[in-house]
Structure 1
Amino acid sequence: MMDNKINLLVIDDDDINIFIIKKIVEKTGYNVNMVAKANGLLAIEHLKATFGHTDFPQLILIDINMPVLNGWEFLDAYEALNVTKKVDMYMLSSSVYENDIEKAKTYAKVKGFISKPLSIERLIELFKLLA
């Protein structure tokens, strides 16, 4: 159990996935402030609003297929923000396309590709990497 609060941003347009991730977060035993945004544009607006604040995310889980700004477009928009703070980002997708997995590797900020559904063990692993 960590005393420090972990700020987690989940970018996904599927309410069921958000619900599942929220339940998994609760079961980790970590102190987590989870914010969910339904698309990349809302996530970028959230990042701009929390920039320089203590609730700026340390971990971002990004779905690929979303309306308005998809996961790839979010990453391009994120690059333009010139964030200097260390943020761990992972693509979290149900995509099984090898080209999506390969494309994720082309983004320096993306640490990995996680296939849905997210497991408690995998999330705890990600939280430990933040320390």
Structure 2
Amino acid sequence: MDILNTILLVDDDDTTNLLNKYFAEAIDDTIDVVTAVNGLEALQFLENSDIEAIGPCLIILDVMMPIMDGWEFLELFNQRFDAKFKEQVTISILTGLDANKIAKKAKENPLVQDTVEKPLSDEKFRALIGKHYAEKLSQ
């Protein structure tokens, strides 16, 4: 069962990326899981990828990161990619700090579909996949 093609985990915490990669692969081992430690690395991955080949894509984005944080990533993502590309991408904010404030700010950004509090458990990950890819889960 091929749920989605790519999950891009963007977090400066290697342990968080490792656990989230494990959860994704446990749901479907055909998912291509890519990690980036900041928004700049994530943008570079997306700019150098063929979205037709990797899409649909789920981006799980931390907001507090060095070099380029999640908010800066969202701003540049919106500027650099066309509407067709953005349609293939689901962005979920992952946060552990001041979750209510971040959730409020995330709701104001049309690129963000939802906010998930750290730590991301297997249950939360399955709910996230189910929410955005429910039609694919039933196939």
Cα 1:95–1:63 shift into 2, 3 Å? same
Asked if residue 110 in structure 1 is aligned to residue 109 in structure 2, the reply is no
Cα 1:97–1:120 shift into 2, 3 Å? closer
**d(CA) in 2 for partners of 1:115 and 1:80?**
27
Higher fraction of helix: 2
**TM-score normalised to the size of structure 2?**
0.84
**d(CA) in 2 for partners of 1:72 and 1:51?**
24
**d(CA) in 2 for partners of 1:71 and 1:63?**
6
Number of aligned residues: 130
**TM-score normalised to the size of structure 1?**
0.88
| Residue matched to 2:26 | 27
Contact 2:106/2:112 (8 A) holds in 1: yes
Moved over 3 A (4+): none
Which runs of no fewer than 5 residues in structure 2 stay unpaired? none
**d(CA) in 1 for partners of 2:41 and 2:49?**
12
Cα 1:46–1:29 shift into 2, 3 Å? closer
Q: What is the Cα deviation at residue 76 of structure 1?
A: 0.3
Q: What is the Cα deviation at residue 109 of structure 1?
A: 1.1
Asked if residue 92 in structure 1 is aligned to residue 94 in structure 2, the reply is yes
3-state DSSP of counterpart to 1:111:
strand
